[in-house]
A = this chain, B = another copy of it.
Amino acid sequence: MNKTIILNSRPVGKPQQSDFKMIEEEMPEIKDGEILLKTKFVSVDPYLRGRMSDAKSYVPPFELQKAMSSGVVAEVTESQNDQFKVGDFVSGMLEWKEFQNSNGENLLKINDQLAPLSNYLGVLGMTGLTAYFGLTEIGKPQKGETIVVSGAAGAVGNIVGQIGKILGCRVIGIAGTDEKVELLKSKFGFDDAINYNTNKDMTKAIAEVCPDGVDVYYDNVGGTISDSVHANINRLGRIIVCGAISAYNDTSIPQGPRVEHFLIRKSVLMQGFIVSNYAENFPDGMKQLSQWLSEEKLHSEETIVEGFDNIPQAFLNLFEGKNTGKMIVKI
């Protein structure tokens, strides 16, 4: 039998285990032109929360009682498609199933000799590309500028910070535990980092570690943490609005200080994006990230959870900040 995880109910507020359901399906059979894929690694990401709701968004919502899907690395175990042979590894948007068939469309062949397979869901996947294009295309950081990253120990955040350092910037991270703060400084080369859970006055804390103000803010969280960064933004600053995990489980649009005043006063840019806006440049991004990885300028950080059954829990843990770097489930 073939384990499959389906969307059982649309979460209201914080997702629960009961919003998911594990079912057993018949093993798929492949037809001419198809391949059989065995799931090796599954990516769980905050943005999936949006697809669990039925609100209009940039990607259609998951259907109730149908399999969930996300970035997956899989191995080809049977093939009736000339493009793939048994033993090939691929990555793509695939379903949360132990086995599934595919016609090979939209799958990327990946090389486990160049990098560990899980990296293709992290630093060499959408996560790395999100960090890279958001920072370089929107943030356009100049050498010597100050970059602040929220959710800095998260999947995207730690890579943003590392790229910022490669580009010659001063980089400050915001994270939620002392352990993460330490890791940002010791392992990822951040110049400084702040624990938002222990700092009462974040606006002051940011001002202290950013004596020249904030030129670029890479925002993964939104909410009051962002308010305190906005208060320190420089003239002609750039705010990359990548994520707002603080609000993903809210049942109504959260309220906060209106931004127009400081946007005008400081001539600030705020730009939201999704990584697929830059799809035509993915090959260039992959090439640059691979190069930095092979030169050991970039370090891949992953939190690996084991076992197919644990995919929902790994996803739920994202909202508790339990991951450092990319959260990946190994099957």
Contact = CB atoms under 8 A, between A and B. Distances in A.
Nearest to A47: B264
A258 B253 contact: yes
Q: Which of A236, A261, A266 has the most CB of B within 10 A?
A: A261
Given A253-B257, A256-B258, A257-B255, A263 B241 contact: yes
A235 B276 CA distance: 13
A267 B259 contact: no
A253 B270 CA distance: 18
A33 interface: no
Contact of A273 (B57, B261, B264): B264
Interface string A235-252: 110000111100100000
A223 B260 CA distance: 9
A280 to B, nearest CB: 15
Interface string A270-291: 1111100100000000000000
A261 B56 CA distance: 12
Contact of A272 (B58, B247, B264, B273): B264
B267 A272 contact: yes
Contacts of A101: none
A171 B267 CA distance: 25
A292 interface: no
B267 A274 contact: yes
A20 B253 CA distance: 41
A258 B222 contact: yes
Contacts of A219: 260
Contacts of A222: 258, 260-261
Given A241-B264, A272-B265, A255 B256 contact: yes
A268 interface: yes
Nearest to A264: B272
A137 to B, nearest CB: 12
Given A58-B235, A235-B58, A263 B255 contact: no
Given A222-B258, A256-B255, A259-B259, A274 B269 contact: no
Q: Which of A254, A260, A272 has the most CB of B within 10 A?
A: A260
Q: Which of A243, A264, A265 has the most CB of B within 10 A?
A: A264
Interface string A43-66: 000000010000001100000000
Nearest to A231: B253
A226 B269 contact: no
A68 B235 CA distance: 25
A262 B65 CA distance: 28
Interface in A204-249: 219, 222-223, 226, 235-236, 241-244, 247
Interface of A: 50, 57-58, 219, 222-223, 226, 235-236, 241-244, 247, 253-274, 277
Given A58-B267, A263-B271, A264-B272, 14 more contacts: A58-B235, A222-B258, A223-B258, A226-B260, A242-B264, A254-B257, A254-B258, A255-B256, A256-B256, A259-B259, A267-B271, A267-B273, A268-B271, A269-B270
